[in-house]
Structure 1
């Protein structure tokens, strides 16, 4: 889909129809190769070095504010030789590993003592501040939900979240209200047709693309909205082009594929729990929450259900950092599955 949705914008910006597609193909190839190497690393390595990984992530978040590349008013990318690396994507995986290790060691305390949850406020509060300074509101929200979901899976009482999450929710609401940019996103998503050629342009064009697909779609490569009508057609709004070309049936198939991926991830997590491999099981659940939530938000944004968040569709939208980190995340989950089933494999041999 990146190839189909990016041809027009690639031709305009680079005089090369497959610029974005070739870069995405490189990122996917790199992700598969790195993922293969990551799969070889035992889970004990990640558990042992989870604190160091989190510290590296904090350092990278500071660096991106100092020397990061500014794109569309946001400093989210570190310029590397092979790609512009989005540190927030790295932090999603780091948070999953860090939380898995913390919850495995302090599972009983988390269930019985609210201070075991509150003590996480310092490291994650610092991380959230650095992310919001970029600003990256969408990634901050995704990470917050990952943390909340993993805590619930570990058995933390719901009452803890009423006490701890409510002040955070109030703070986020205040940040939206005092920021004209964020407030405009909320109001525009509520009624994009009030200004279809101004602030509501992107969403109205996305809805036109989605509606044009009807049941069966216009056909592969037959999208009109990708011809420079819909901004970010190859990134945040790739689903709208997909809907235009493959229709409602194509969207239904896509949703089913994501549900299957998440089901498999949660099943790996459950199997790990059954074998008392809580660290690996929590990683599998955390990655499942990450992919499920980000796919849900991206689909909702494209269909006008949520305000624009700047989040890609996992494994489909253009974005080297996202593809690379998701390949790594899935490789770690495959390692979880391998270590969980290792006794069975040896018995079969």
Structure 2
């Protein structure tokens, strides 16, 4: 009886806003993913709820990982940030080894661990946050005053993005690099240095698009998907049709037509489009509101940590907020035609064990930060 009581006491300590927002996102996300996947699951596996059952297994693992993150003092992550960075490099290198990394649709991003298939880049996103937060605390003055303080983390980031691009995983590269830039900017780097590197990265991204035919094809399809709607513009046009069919209130739960093999990756990259078709404009506003609420709460917690002089806690919270918001924005942007098509999951919604585990772990980490800073006032 002691253990359940202790667990209940720990749960009661968790920030109520984070609890409610996370539970709402998980509940709506499970409904959306299950509805979007039933036809694909029945056709490929002969089980309508195959992906829903797998989601249950992923959720159990994610819950266990979240418990570990919440019960572990933040100081532990600060002291071991360099170790997690090394593990991240190792994981990204392993996926490139033939026979070790698993290749799907021309990309080598996954590692088979027993019955699970883990996406290395998802975990690396969190490891980068740990490393940068620790670096900005230790080398804060150097970052603000000297070029060397800015170049060192940029060199580490360049090495990581190089490994990500070898997979290739352009979406994870953009999200990881964007989060790192925001964290370094918040760390006090000089604006001129920051803008110079940003311009260099933009030029590099343009070069990657120009010299890779499939990326250029995606870009041209993004600008006018209807010009080649049955080839390069197929995914986007089918996604836009889903949004158009949804109108204000949607066609109703389970009544999507686009998930009937018209829209590829309906339960992963384009689950947002299927949700919009079934629940309409009002449903999409609910999702947007939940994400804005979650990210806003994380930023408030990060600000409170900063006011209590817990700089590592603050940088971690800011990094998590940026990571979740950037990934959600890019996925929704791709679904609506605001951004070129790229493979990137919608946090808490898209099918994928690695994404779910890391996203829940991030929120649990922020909950721990809130708990450690609770009751303290800025000095």
TM-score of the pair, normalised by structure 2: 0.89
1:63 pairs with 2:94 = yes
Equivalent in 60, 64, 71 of residue 40 of structure 1: 71
Deviates more, 1:56-65 or 1:107-116: 107-116
Q: Partners in 2 of 1:256 and 1:148 — Cα distance?
A: 26
TM superposition shift of 1:168: 2.2
- Mark the runs of 5 or more structure 2 residues left unpaired by the alignment: 1-31
The residue correspondences of 1:39-118 to structure 2 (distance < 5 A) are 39-66=70-97, 67-118=100-151
Contact 2:132 2:153 in 1 (8 A): no
TM superposition shift of 1:219: 0.8
Deviates more, 1:64-73 or 1:27-36: 27-36
Q: Partners in 2 of 1:109 and 1:263 — Cα distance?
A: 30
CA-based RMSD = 1.1
Q: What does residue 267 of structure 1 align with?
A: 300
Q: What does residue 230 of structure 2 align with?
A: 197
Deviates more, 1:264-273 or 1:160-169: 160-169
TM superposition shift of 1:82: 3.3
Q: Partners in 2 of 1:317 and 1:43 — Cα distance?
A: 29
Contact 2:308 2:376 in 1 (8 A): no
SS of 1:276's partner is: coil
Q: What does residue 370 of structure 2 align with?
A: 337
Q: Residues 245-303 of structure 1, C-alpha deviation per residue, up to 9 Å, x if partnerless?
A: 11001111110110000000000000000100000111011000001111111111000
1:170 pairs with 2:203 = yes
Equivalent in 333, 339, 348 of residue 306 of structure 1: 339
1:323 pairs with 2:345 = no
Q: Partners in 1 of 2:152 and 2:85 — Cα distance?
A: 15
Deviates more, 1:311-320 or 1:19-28: 19-28
Q: What does residue 347 of structure 1 align with?
A: none
Q: Residues 102-156 of structure 1, C-alpha deviation per residue, up to 9 Å, x if partnerless?
A: 0011112212222201112322211111100000011011011101111121222
Deviates more, 1:27-36 or 1:6-15: 27-36
TM superposition shift of 1:33: 1.8
TM superposition shift of 1:342: 6.1
Q: How many residues align?
A: 344
Q: Partners in 1 of 2:182 and 2:160 — Cα distance?
A: 18
Equivalent in 251, 255, 258 of residue 288 of structure 2: 255
Equivalent in 239, 242, 263 of residue 209 of structure 1: 242
1:184 pairs with 2:224 = no
Q: What does residue 37 of structure 2 align with?
A: 6
SS of 1:290's partner is: helix
Deviates more, 1:31-40 or 1:276-285: 31-40
SS of 1:24's partner is: helix
TM-score of the pair, normalised by structure 1: 0.96
Deviates more, 1:115-124 or 1:15-24: 115-124
SS of 1:120's partner is: helix
Q: Partners in 2 of 1:250 and 1:91 — Cα distance?
A: 32
TM superposition shift of 1:197: 1.2
Q: Partners in 2 of 1:336 and 1:241 — Cα distance?
A: 35
Q: Partners in 1 of 2:239 and 2:196 — Cα distance?
A: 38
Contact 2:42 2:48 in 1 (8 A): yes
